[in-house]
Amino acid sequence: MLMKIFLFLFCSYIPIWNIIDARWELQLYRPLHVATYSLNPHCHYNPNFKVTANIKIGLYKCLERTVSDAS
């Protein structure tokens, strides 16, 4: 869509695309996003899905915040 608006002129839309990418990178690796990714059945049961340490840590951080103190 962005390319169509700028009539496929690479130099016109690439600065906007870089801003979008920079903002997306800030959100991408937050614990809530990682937990959503790992708990999503569409992603989780994909044959290419791999559980890495970052995914486990993000999921556990998210769970720590949502579960109240046990004591």
Q: What is the pLDDT of residues 12-31, one digit of tens each?
A: 677 888 888 888 887 777 88
Q: What is the mean pLDDT of residues 24-45?
A: 86
Predicted TM-score (pTM) of this structure: 0.57
Residue 38 CA to residue 67 CA, distance in Å, equals 18
Torsion on CA atoms 57, 58, 60, 61, rounded to nearest 10? 110
Residue 43 CA to residue 48 CA, distance in Å, equals 9
Question: Per the structure block, which two tokens stand in for 7?
Answer: 């009539």
3-state secondary structure of 52: coil
pLDDT of residue 66: 86
